[in-house]
Amino acid sequence: MQDDAAQNQTLLGADELVLNMGPQHPSTHGVLRVKLKLDGERVRGTECVIGYLHRGVEKIAENRSYQQFAPYVDRMDYVAAVSNGLGYCEAVEKLLNVEAPPRAKVIRTIMTELQRIASHLIWLGTHALDIGALTPLFYCLREREEILKIFEKYCGARLTTHAFRIGGLQYEAYDSFEKDVERFCKDFERRIQEYVDLLTGNSIWIGRTRNVGVLSAEECIALGASGPVLRASGVKWDLRKAQPYAAYDQYKFEIPVGTNGDTYDRYMVRMEEMRQSRLICLQAIENIPAGPIMGKVGKVLKPPAGEIYHSIEAPKGILGYYIVSDGTTQPYRVRIRPPSFINLQALDKMARGHLVADVVAIIGTLDIVLGEVDR
């Protein structure tokens, strides 16, 4: 934090107040600790202290075989475990130079989009709760429950699913999979209107989010922010369109973008993304190709020596896996580019000059998950 003298001057020459927000705080979404430098209630600087949830995920990867490591990535962004798994599996597939069969790809797409909706629902609920609206959280959890039920029926787990395998899928879609997804999607259109009724036009909500935590497109790019945070600033960059993976090139969908790059725009972008994900799911279940679900992958994975980087559009932004193989059964090095960690860098830029209450809104709008920030 570089502060010049003028910036250190507070109103009335009072002392700066250093407020420790977290790691035990209702709205730091886990164990984030933010040191706030305050003048009254105005924020003059922030400093994030992270690492309270560090588990050394990347180091663990070096001592596990490729398949053994797959469940670990679910524990990074634990509200979007399926997306993490997709990224990892596709990265290793790329390294092995195999491809998942079409049926597996489509089911992966459906699952990932459902996960995107679930992740955004958690974001919406907690974000609204941070801003003081109690009720949306419970509505969001009600819908998320339906998604989790689908996950549970599919692979037996709800949160850390380990749904995909390297090379395809282990489980065939269960009998009423399409029907369940369709029912959820049909229902969800009506549900999303409930959130819109509660929040979108509410003048308090607008007052709390408009012009709060503004990030311009240049700033976003300079900070490396991605996902809805980037798109809300008007940059139309979505890896699902830009570098299609899984089965995304088969479906029609829009990439919502914002204009102001403020909290309200990020809210609108994520709301629209949920609608688009719903449309993708509806398109995908129309026509799930028949065929095998597992590609030609051996029991013991021994990728050729080399390195690979593969990234996907996770709910929170670009999730990248950089894997170096030395030709053995265990990766030589795995580096993960977590979207939350990089988006969190924008906090200081966004929060300066705002009030404490806005910091809470900004942490909420960045949609961070500490499991992913700390890994």
Partner 1 sequence: MSPTLQAVLAFVQTWWVELVSGVVIVAVVPLVAGYIVLMERKLMADMQARLGPMRVGPHGLLQPIADAVKLLIKEDIIPDNADKVVFWIAPVVSMTAALTSMGAIAFGPAFQVARDINVGLLFVIGVSSLGIFGIVLGGWASNSHYSIMGALRSTAQLVSYETAAGLALVSGLLLAGTLKIRAIVDAQQHFGVWFVFLAPVAFFIYVVASIAETNRAPFDLPEAESELVAGYMTEYSGFRWALYFLGEYANMIVVGAVATTLFLGGWLRPFPNVRWMNWLDALPALFTAAVGAYCVYRAGKQPVRVQTWFMWGVALACFVVALILAVPLLVAPLKFLVPGLHGAFWFLLKISAYIYLFMWLRFTLPRYRFDQLMHLGWYILIPLAIVNVLAVGVAMILEMEYGWNRWLAMLLTTVITLATALFLLRLNDKRAAAASSAAPPPEEPSTEDSYAG
Phi, psi of 111 (to 5 degrees): -60, -40
Distance CA 332, CA 207 (A): 50
Binding segment (CB under 8 A) for partner 1, from list 102-110, 223-231, 240-248, 353-361: 353-361
- The answer to whether 160 contacts partner 1 (rule: CB under 8 A) is no
Site for partner 1 (CB under 8 A): which residue of 16, 23, 35, 41?
A: 41
Measured from the Cβ of residue 98, the count of other Cβ atoms closer than 10 Å reads 18
SS3 178: helix
- The answer to whether 357 contacts partner 1 (rule: CB under 8 A) is yes
Distance CA 368, CA 50 (A): 12
Q: Contacts with partner 1: how many residues (CB under 8 A)?
A: 46
Q: Residue 6 or residue 290: which is nearer to partner 1 going by CB?
A: 6
- The answer to whether 44 contacts partner 1 (rule: CB under 8 A) is yes
Q: Residue 91 or residue 347: which is nearer to partner 1 going by CB?
A: 347
- The answer to whether 358 contacts partner 1 (rule: CB under 8 A) is yes
Could you tell me which residues are beta bridge partners of residue 350? none
| Window 77-116: residues binding partner 1 (CB under 8 A) | none
SS3 313: strand
- The answer to whether 324 contacts partner 1 (rule: CB under 8 A) is no
Which among 163, 113, 174 has a CA at the least distance from the CA of 312? 113
| Window 115-134: residues binding partner 1 (CB under 8 A) | 128-134
Give 93-132 as a DSSP string: HHHHT----HHHHHHHHHHHHHHHHHHHHHHHHHHHHHTT
As measured in angstroms, the least distance from the Cβ of 355 to partner 1 is 6
| Window 191-250: residues binding partner 1 (CB under 8 A) | 198-199, 202, 204-205, 207-208, 210-211, 214
Which among 155, 67, 85, 70 has a CA at the least distance from the CA of 314? 85
Distance CA 340, CA 55 (A): 16
Residues that bind partner 1 (CB under 8 A): 6-7, 9-11, 17, 19-20, 25-27, 39-42, 44, 128-135, 137-139, 142, 198-199, 202, 204-205, 207-208, 210-211, 214, 349, 352-353, 355-358, 360
